[in-house]
Structure 1
Amino acid sequence: MSSYETTETREDSVEEPLGSIGHETFMITMEVVYKKIKREPRNIKPEDTLTKDLSLDSLEALELLVNLEQCYDIDLVGSPEIADVSSVDDLYSLVLRCQTARN
């Protein structure tokens, strides 16, 4: 049994370690959480910034982080790296690092 699984994306097939979240799964999670917070659907792109493009104020950004912490059983708010996050892709990278550190 391999410790990797193949995940199909829109562009190609990639290998991801089992237990890690794929980029496409994260993007879907972001859209669901965004809709929960803002009460409106949005097609979120990896390059979207949290404050400018997604129009999240500080309270909404905190709510986003808490929801992601609950989804992935990680600590984002307490991470010193959270201050460096400005885009959705930055946040995805931090979630992956927090998951790796937890395991």
Structure 2
Amino acid sequence: MKTFVSEGATWNIGFFDGQQVVWPNAEVLTGVTMRLLHQVHEATSLGPVNLSDLPRMEAAFATNTAIGVRAITAINEVEFPDVHPILETLRKEYEEIPAEAV
């Protein structure tokens, strides 16, 4: 049985496969941070992410407007680093998005 990863209760999840950021192509509420990062990070794709795909991912992260980009260090028995260059890149890209005047 395939089990797909989609999102958390108050955050979106993303992965880095070594080449690009992969956002799960699932029924999710697209968060503001996820949408903005998808717009500014060029190497991005949408695709199904199965639990069996996790060992080939180099990094996992959560996004929401309160935290920006936060490392996810484990999903079940699969561990991910809490420090990875993609996390710093995404944080920097997110922080550089110009604010909108209200």
Structure with greater helix percent? 1
Q: Per chain length, whose mean CA-contact separation is higher, i.e. which structure has more relative contact order (CA < 8 Å, sep 6+)?
A: 2
Report the TM-score when normalising by structure 2. Answer: 0.28
